[in-house]
Amino acid sequence: MSILDKATAHYKAQLSGSLQSFEVPEWETTIYFKGITSMADEQRVLKLHSEGKLAEALVESIISKACDVDGKKLFKSADRVTLMHETDPVILMKVAGELNGTATSDEDLGNE
C-alpha cells in the first residue's frame, strides 16, 4: 500500500466516524459536525480569511460544517446573506469556534 493509499484510507476512515455535537441554547438546537472536512471546503474558508473577510470565513465554515443528527447540512449557500445580516454575531462566533475547535467562552467575548 502506497503512502497515498494510506492517506486516503485514513481520510475515509475519519469521514465515516461518528458525528460530534454541541448545544446552541440561543437557537434551541444541537449542531452536529464531522471532526474533519475536505480540503476543498477548507480552501473556501482559507481564501476568504486570506482576503481579510473574517466574518465571511466564519459563516462559510458554519455553512460547510454544521449538520443535523443525520449528517444533513443545516445551511445552504443561499443562507449566507441571512446569516451575515440577520443573526447574532456573537452566537455565530461561538458556533464557528465549536465547529473549528477554537471555541471561546462568554467571558472571552466580553459577555460576563
**CATH code for the domain in which residue 61 is found:** 3.30.2220.20
In a domain, 12, yes or no: no
- Model confidence at 16: pLDDT above 90: no
| Number of domains present in the structure of the chain | 1
Tell me, yes or no, whether 51 lies in a domain.
yes
C-alpha cell at 5: 493509499
Specify the pLDDT at position 110.
52
Residue 43 lies in a domain: yes
The amino acid at 19: L
- According to DSSP, the residues that pair with 33 across neighbouring strands are 20
In a domain, 8, yes or no: no
> Which residues touch 103 (CB under 8 Å, ≥6 apart)?
22, 94, 97
Q: By residue range, what is the domain housing residue 62?
A: 18-99
Is 85 a member of any domain? yes
pTM summary value: 0.80
**Which of 20-24, 26-30, 35-39, 77-81 is predicted with the least confidence, judged by mean pLDDT?**
35-39
Answer yes or no: is 104 within a domain: no
* Residue 75 placed within a domain: yes
For residue 5, being part of any structural domain is answered with: no
- % of the chain at pLDDT higher than 90: 69
